[in-house]
Amino acid sequence: MNATPYRPAQAEREETARLLPVPAERDLPPGRHLHHKELLMRQIDQDTTHTSHQPGGLRRRLADAAAPGRPRRRLVLGASLAAGAMAAVIAVTAVGSHAPTTVPQAGGPGGSVSERGPGGASPRAVQLLTRIAAVSASTSAPQVRDDQYIYIASQVYGASKKIGADGDGAKAQYNDDGTGTTHPRQAWFSVNGSRDGLLHSDLGAGEGDISLGKNTKPSLQLPTYTYLASLPTDPDALLTAVYAQNTGVDKNLNPDQEAFQTIGDALRESLMPPQIGAALYKAAAKIPGVNVVDDAVDASGRHGVAVSQDHGNQRTEWIFDKDKLTYLGERTVLINDDSAGGKAGRILVSTAVTERAVVDKAGQKPSPGTAT
């Protein structure tokens, strides 16, 4: 194993960015802007009485914070506190249940975390991701047509923050007491992005269907099945593409952290060709700072082993079944206490993928026994 982590040279990134199918502009499709705005508006409707005497003004600030320019399908919807907005976080989990909001402290937040290898992913992370990649490569490829949809059923939990009654400049505090309710989420994504996607979600403020629009400029952050199938299966070439798409996307993260987040974006709500999944896991094994968490719990309460990376005071964890090594979900936890009153180990975002399938139209559920 090489001790030097893989980091593509700038010229290599630029050449790969030119050759691979990369979106013409880094932006969310209009339908997903609407989706993000709707989620934020629903959340603020529940928080208005606690946050401001001028809810209209706060709603406008939230809408501004969710404006175009955020190219991810991340469940952490970046409403900026610096802009005076509530930080809203959305995620995937079980109906009417309460998501765990604190992780075990033994061995640090999130359980025992493996030590880093010299300059890169820990040896245990490399070993685990190699095994996960082998499992992915051994699965059967789905039969998919361009006119079909990828169906993803999930469970989500997300913490939210509120600002003081005087609005801008007030200290942010968590908006719940750590016993937040989890919510179901069902999404339908066009196989090639040419048809409108659909989201059905219950955030506790009433259920509803939201059009996600078309995805005519897919990326690793907002993939379609067709886009994923077009990517290289060589891990080095694929990781070069990951780094190439990261340039300037999130200035709060370094390139290695962005690479980890980008692969997580691709994994979270997608069904992908087995060889592409295997290549993504092998690529993740080459990213510096990637570790293993021995015990992590997804939003539906399933325990698993996690591949993790720290960024600032947060740790993002991809959770896998300990025996089957199949993807369960993702969570983000606090590493240390924060200024908003969160204690080390508090869960900020928790997701659990419960079904993946190919269906013929948006809104259609898979037949019994056909989902994975």
For 147-178, write each residue's pLDDT tens digit.
Answer: 999 999 999 988 877 765 545 555 677 776 65
Percent of the chain clearing pLDDT 70 (strictly above) = 62
* Burial category of 167 from C-beta neighbours within 10 Å (exposed 0-12, middle 13-18, buried 19 and up): middle
Calpha distance 86→52 (Å, rounded): 11
Confidence of residue 227 (pLDDT cuts 50, 70, 90): very high
pLDDT tens track for 70-124: 345 444 333 222 222 223 332 222 223 333 333 333 233 334 444 444 446 899 9
What is residue 179's predicted lDDT score, i.e. its pLDDT?
Answer: 59
Average of per-residue pLDDT values in the chain: 74
* Burial category of 145 from C-beta neighbours within 10 Å (exposed 0-12, middle 13-18, buried 19 and up): exposed
Strands (E), the chain: 76-77, 88-89, 149-158, 161-162, 173-174, 183-190, 197-202, 207-213, 290-297, 303-311, 314-320, 327-334, 347-359
Phi, psi of 257 (to 5 degrees): -65, -40
pLDDT tens track for 246-295: 766 677 889 999 999 999 999 999 999 999 999 999 999 999 999 999 99
Q: Are 155 and 300 in contact (CB under 8 A)?
A: yes
* Burial category of 127 from C-beta neighbours within 10 Å (exposed 0-12, middle 13-18, buried 19 and up): middle
- Other Cβ atoms closer than 10 A to 355: 14
Closest CA to 348 of 71, 141, 78, 153: 78
Distance of CA 250 to the CA centre of its chain: 14
Q: Quick one: which H or E segment has residue 61? A: helix 55-65
What is residue 247's predicted lDDT score, i.e. its pLDDT?
Answer: 65
What is residue 9's predicted lDDT score, i.e. its pLDDT?
Answer: 61
**Distances in Å between the alpha carbon of 214 and those of 111, 149, 191, 338?**
40, 12, 10, 38
pLDDT tens track for 195-221: 999 999 876 545 578 899 999 999 998
Mean pLDDT value across residues 13-36: 46
Three-state DSSP at 243 gives: helix
Confidence of residue 65 (pLDDT cuts 50, 70, 90): very low
pLDDT tens track for 335-366: 998 888 888 999 988 999 999 999 999 999 99
Q: Looking at the predicted structure, is the pLDDT value of residue 334 above 50? A: yes
* Burial category of 90 from C-beta neighbours within 10 Å (exposed 0-12, middle 13-18, buried 19 and up): buried
Question: Which residues, at least 6 apart from 170, have a Cβ–Cβ distance to it below 8 Å?
Answer: 163, 164
